[in-house]
Structure formats: structure tokens, C-alpha cells
Amino acid sequence: MCFFLLGSCAVNKWQNTLIQKGDMNDAINNAITDFVHTSKWSKKDSIFTVTITDINEENINITIAVADDDVYPNSKNKVGTYDHIFPTRYTVKEGKLF
């Protein structure tokens, strides 16, 4: 019984780190945290892509998928430029690259 209670507290610990109200970055971090702790894919792989789609002013769609392609910088990828294929932001959570 005691082990079950300790395990139950550990499961809820990461859920307590989720931000209830915040900006888009908070929503993205919540999605990544949830993915790391609940998705079977996060146990099998270590590199993921995060795609954000604006639905309207109050809602966004955050998709997290296994990164299946290698992306290498080229002459277009310079500081201050944007290429929709080349990642622009990174984060590491629980040893996983997003």
C-alpha cells in the first residue's frame, strides 16, 4: 500500500508542473512535458519535431512527432533568415530533443 501511494505521488509530480494559464510558449512546454511522460513514442525515440498551427486567437494545435529526416544547414540558413524546413528553436526535456 505504501509503495502505491509513493508511486501515485510521483506520477502527479510532473502534472503539477503544467501551467494552467499562460502564453503560447507555456502551452508548448506543457505539450512537451505531457508527451514525455505519457507517449509510448517518447520511450522509443529521442528526437522529435514540434509543429505549431494557429487555429484562432485562443487556440493552437501542437503536434509532436518522431523526427524521421535529417536536416542539415545550407547557405540559406544564416542568422536572421527563416526556412520552414530548418528548425529554429530547440529544447531538451528528460533527455529528449524537441
pLDDT band at 87 (very low <50, low <70, confident <90, very high): low
Q: Kindly list the domain boundaries of the chain, sorted by start residue.
A: 2-97
pLDDT band at 91 (very low <50, low <70, confident <90, very high): confident
* 3-state SS assignment for residue 89: coil
Cα–Cα distance for residue pair 32/14, rounded to 1 Å: 11
Of residues 22 and 35, which shows the higher confidence score? 35
Note the pLDDT tens digit of each residue in 53-83.
Answer: 887 877 888 888 888 776 666 777 676 777 6
Does 95 have pLDDT greater than 80?
yes
Q: In sequence order, which residues have a C-beta less than 8 Å from that of residue 17 and are 6 or more positions away?
A: 33
